[in-house]
Amino acid sequence: MEIKAIGCEPLQLKRMHVKDGHTLKVYQETGGYKSLKKALGMTQDDIINEVKASALRGRGGAGFPTGMKWSFVPRQSPKPKYVVCNADESEPGTFKDRYLLERDPHSLIEGMLIAAFALGSNACYIYFRGEYNYLIDIMDKAIAEAREAGILGKNIMGSDFSCEVYTQTGAGAYICGEETALLSSLEGYRGHPRMKPPFPAIEGLYACPTVVNNVETLTAVPQIIEMGGENWRNLGTEKSGGTKLWSVSGHVKKPGVYELPMGYADLEKFILEDCGGMLHKDKKLKACIPGGSSVYIMNAEQIIGKKVLMDYEGLVAAGSSVGSGGFIVMDESVDVMESTKNLIEFYKHESCGWCTPCREGTDWLNKILKRISEGNGRPEDAQLMLDICDNIEGKSFCPLGDAAAWPVQSAIKRFPEDFKKWLFKNTNVN
């Protein structure tokens, strides 16, 4: 498992290989909590403006500008305000946040405290996916260390600012990666998404103003305060600032977590050189999912020789998106129809059942793909699945519907031969 930076100095990965990097002692020895001290001497507006200048965009999948999200929280409110970290890393193919939580928990605490100070919040919550339960012990120890050192609790670092950080685990539901479903679960209710508007910045946790950011987003904040927003942005591109973590798995020789500057110049080079190339010498690159299972799958023709930029704009232009940064590489041994079937089984299982398009749509996609895999496919099934996807996309209550529809649409359109050999199995049609 590789954990390294390419094309830049390691920032979020700089403590990954440091002995005891998860402890307060080592964190402070390597510059930790200096950004918090600096932030406590700044105004709330100054901090938010630095985050805006950084062009930091949400690393959980949506890519919404973080500074803008923070600015939506009302400055004056009779209600308490909350900062919530989305550590419900449930997207298939994504595991970068786990390494940050495991090896550098204090960077998350520092990022959350800076956010809380900027927003006028005195309480932060970290929501872990159920399968990450073991990480709570690591985080709780880090929280205890910080509290004992006067970095958490009352009058942080001798200032007038007081704040606590709490941990909470979910039940392992993919839907709780959606911020409003997460908030419902955090309140003790079933993890159902909520109607928007109102957005969490206005009415979130306990109907109070709330900012929800994921682990990677919040751990970038101390770097931004330390370097300055503009300097951090210049590591990437004007619209996609800073560096980005990618979880790489599949048919490459060097899977792992990689930190790249936004706008890294060549997706092909990243796969075939930086990640060690294809796992099997006799198998060529066939497909890649660059942003976790919920984005459009790319074929080799969209990558080889195309100089695809690895940022939000570059990957959209190439026919996919950054998503959560779950980078899955597939060689010629993969049958895309079968991999799509496995994926839809997941989305069907994880649909909360709240709305008809997602509940019924994922169920029917699952039934059709199962029937195809059993050798009972029909030539018209490809169009039938595309029609079902059209009735899901943009019509579900939350983005889970789109997350199920997009990979199916792109798989059928970009790998027609993988479906054709199944759909025409029982006919004489070529």
Query: What is the signed CA dihedral for 218, 242, 120, 38, rounded to 10 degrees?
Result: 100
pLDDT of residue 283: 96
For residue 124, the SS3 value is: strand
Kindly report the pTM of this predicted structure: 0.94
Q: Which structure tokens are listed for 20?
A: 């005891």
Indicate the SS3 state at residue 430: coil
Q: Which domains does the chain have, with CATH numbers?
A: 8-233 (3.40.50.11540), 243-331 (3.10.20.600), 336-423 (1.20.1440.230)
The ranges of the chain with pLDDT < 70 are 426-430
Asked if omega into 222 is within 30° of 0 (cis), the reply is no
Copy the structure tokens of residue 42. 């700044």
pLDDT of residue 399: 85
Instruction: Mention every residue, 6+ apart, whose C-beta is less than 8 A from residue 66.
Output: 51, 54, 56, 57, 58, 213, 217
Residue 192: name the closest of 209, 206, 173 by CA. Answer: 173
Q: Which amino acid is at 371?
A: R
User: How confident is the model at residue 429, as a pLDDT?
Assistant: 46
List pLDDT tens digits, range 343-381.
999 999 999 888 999 999 999 999 999 999 999 999 999
- Asked if the peptide bond before residue 78 counts as cis, ω within 30 degrees of 0, the response is no
User: What are 300-317's pLDDT values in tens digits?
Assistant: 999 999 999 999 999 999
Residue type, 103: R
Q: Residue 233: what pLDDT? A: 97
Chain centroid to Cα 207, Å, comes to 25
Distance CA 418, CA 67 (A): 43
What burial class does residue 126 get, using C-beta atoms within 10 Å of its C-beta: 0-12 exposed, 13-18 middle, 19+ buried? buried
Tokens, residue 172: 């392992």
Question: How far apart (Å, rounded) are the C-alpha atoms in residues 284 and 271?
Answer: 11
Q: What local confidence, expressed as pLDDT, does residue 171 receive?
A: 83
